[in-house]
Each structure stands twice: as structure tokens, then as C-alpha cells.
Amino acid sequence: MSVLPILTYPNPLLKSICEPVDDWSDDTEQLIGDLIDTMYAQPGCVGIAAPQAGFLKRIVIVDASRHRQPVSNHGRLVLINPVIEWQDGENIAREGCLSLPHLTANVRRARDVRIRALSPDKAEILLATSDFEARVIAHEIDHLEGLLFLDRVACLKTDVFRRKRYEVPDKKIPS
């Protein structure tokens, strides 16, 4: 297994709609393993979608247990062909994304979701979750539709923030 390079905005593959997984080949298994390794190689990363590594396949990996604060979660989830079957409520919270490394934003999403997906061994997954984990899953499923969190932001001017640690330091005038 290996850590894959992450595509960043404005790479056009990030704006593409992904194909359902219909072959359960060694290549698919390899890609799932690589995506897992790639997610865990990024400190604090709680989710990744296949298109972020350039593979236009409907595969997402989520692990909300890696959040800085303890949140209700199902541990590591490998979701193949995931769909949000039902959603309710709403809240707004700050999001980041490996593909937009310099930005965070306040994004409105459903509070409660029910997800249907397949596991890597082709078993059906039915999952109900809320709040942070629901947000992460919805964010990753958005990637499969070619959507980034910027597409969900209500106001670019007030809801998008530059990450401090990526700011370019002022040029020092030599003294």
C-alpha cells in the first residue's frame, strides 16, 4: 500500500462526477488500501474521497475518531457507492479539505443523515449518524459529485478563511 499524491483545486478532476464501483478487482482493493494509507498519513485528516487522488470512482474513507475533540463516531468507514438516503436538521460548522489546503469555511449541512453504501466485501452498510461524522460523510460524498466545500459556502466574503499556518510570512527587510 502507498500514500498517494493529493490533487488540489483547481485540478479539473476535482470537478468531475465519479463512476460507481462495479468491478471488485484487485485494483479496487489496492486503491482502497492506498486511500486509507493516504488519509492516515495526513495528521488529523478525517476523510478522503477517491477523486482527491485522481481516481474518479465512488469510494470514500472516513474516520471521525481522529477529530481533535471526542465526537460520536463509527470508527473507520470504507463507503463504496455511498448515498445519503435521508437527512434532517441543519447546522453550520467549519470545514477544511486536503484539496483546499489554504482555506477553511463555514458550511451549512444536514445535522442527521442515513447513509447506504457497500463495504469492500460487498456487504450492504446502513448507517445513521449525526453532527460531525454526518458532516464528514456528506463532505466526502460531495467530492464524488465534483463539489468542494467552496460550492456550499453561503458568502465567500464572510464565510471563507485563510489558514494561518499557510500564510506566507512577510518579507523581512535585512537590517
Q: What residue ranges bind Ni ion (CB under 5 A)?
A: 97
Whole-number CA gyration radius for the chain: 17
The answer to whether residue 140 is catalytic is yes
CB 143 to Ni ion: min, Å: 6
CB 148 to Ni ion: min, Å: 7
Q: Which residue has the cell 463504496?
A: 80
Rounded-to-integer distance, Cα 39 and Cα 62, Å = 9
Q: Give the length of the chain.
A: 175
Q: Which is nearer to Ni ion, 31 or 97 (CB)?
A: 97
Q: Which is nearer to Ni ion, 97 or 134 (CB)?
A: 97
Q: Which is nearer to Ni ion, 31 or 60 (CB)?
A: 60
| Given the residues 124, 133, 140, 145, the one annotated as active site | 140
Q: Is 158 helix (H, G, I), strand (E, B) or coil?
A: helix
Q: Which one, of 147, 128, 46, lies nearest residue 94 by Cα?
A: 46
- Using CB atoms, what's the residue nearest to Ni ion? 97
- Which residues are known catalytic residues? 140
